Amino acid sequence: MSTRTGLAKRVSNYELFFDLAFVLALRELNGSLHMEHISLQNVLVFAMANIVLMNIWFNEVLYYQKYGDSRRIDIYTVIGLMFVVGHLGMSLNFDTASLLPGSSVVIQFNGLLFVAYGIILLQYWLKGRQLGFNRDMKLSMLSLGLYMVVLLPFITGLLGWGPWMMFVFVFPVFLPMILSFFYKEQEELPTNFPHAVERGQLITILSFGESVIAIIGTYSLGEHLLWSALLFFGMACMFINYMSQTFLGVDHHSKRPVGFLFYLHLMIVMGINMFTVSTELLADSHHAVLGHWMLVAGVTLFYLGTYGTTVFNQAMYRLRKEDQLILWGLILATVLALVFVGTNVLGIGLALIIGSYALGFYFYIFRIKVRRLHQVPQPDPRSNPRDFSK
């Protein structure tokens, strides 16, 4: 039973309500790295926490777009999942010294993660009883069950922070790719690409919201007017690039599977979160160097993810090799400029604005060029159309 179509499935109000839990989780995620001494291990735990939160979000989005219809089964389970995700965010702790086997931090975090996966598994089971179990439901339940099983050594106090915990965090990201081989070629996955694009845009907007708060809250007008303005507009240019590409470039009526799109948004959201934390660390002389390199890594991840979505572009906006070389060359130049300016906040802001603006302007010129090539009329700005995706 495939429900995949080219028609956009409306994002329900309960999905939007669910995202509120991630507002809290993202805030706690970015705030938990503020420690007196930050090591590379702490940064690694931060990255793993990003993966955990996004994997919960991905799995719930996949369930909702395939089977969710906002009836009682979906309403009450998603509210329960919100409660768990909120407390999961509150339990984040990146101090590796407190992540020992049997510690309350490890047990609580992994216990809540166990319950979160369990609620999504319950959603599939309840929906399967109602609609009948298909291959996709069974494989999704198997995946979630395996996610839960690998958490048991941490919940029971046998394991703490270390290579094993990294496996637990990354394992759920790659398992769907492995299980995808169990699908027959002629069997369509019941996913909806337009819905996935909109959900990806929403979680990205929420992540940028944390950047707005971090920049304005860290750099006051009275003391750091220029720093605040340049970082803010640099961040805004990143947002413009993302929205231009995903709103104007991507084919929203595609019938392609959504898995790769979600992996790209994992990079995008993690990049934004690293950028958010880095802007705060740059204001602290003790952590400025770490903040600089986190910013470089965050911007790199963000643009790799953003322009990785060009594989989903409308046929008219598919990039040729020469266009790809220019695009990725501009991204490389932006990253190298950020590396070159070091911890100088003014230089970072200028490099980010110039590089991001150049990327956006090139994509704008590219759209004009291909429209002329295909004899497609240019949008008339005086008409103020409601549909900007043309």
Q: Which pTM does this prediction carry?
A: 0.88
> So what's the pLDDT on residue 292?
94
Give the model's confidence band at 194: pLDDT under 50 very low, under 70 low, under 90 confident, else very high: confident
Give alpha helix (H) positions in the chain.
13-31, 40-66, 72-90, 104-131, 135-149, 152-155, 163-179, 193-218, 221-243, 259-281, 288-308, 321-341, 345-373
How large is the average pLDDT for residues 202-217? 92
Domain assignments of the chain as residue spans, ordered by start: 1-190, 192-377
How large is the average pLDDT for residues 10-31? 84
> So what's the pLDDT on residue 187?
44
> So what's the pLDDT on residue 123?
94
Give the model's confidence band at 181: pLDDT under 50 very low, under 70 low, under 90 confident, else very high: low
At 277-333, the pLDDT tens digits run 999 999 888 889 999 999 999 999 999 999 999 999 988 888 888 888 999 999 999
Mean pLDDT, rounded, of the chain: 85
Give the model's confidence band at 11: pLDDT under 50 very low, under 70 low, under 90 confident, else very high: confident
At 168-180, the pLDDT tens digits run 778 777 777 666 6
At 326-381, the pLDDT tens digits run 999 999 999 999 999 999 999 999 999 999 999 999 988 888 888 888 777 777 66
> So what's the pLDDT on residue 3?
42
Burial of 117 (0-12, 13-18, 19+ CB in 10 A): buried
> So what's the pLDDT on residue 177?
67
Concatenated DSSP letters for 142-186?
HHHHHHHHTTHHHHTTS--SSHHHHHHHHHHHHHHHHHGGGS-TT
Q: Cβ–Cβ contacts within 10 Å for residue 144, how many? A: 24
- Asked if pLDDT for residue 207 goes beyond 90, the answer is yes
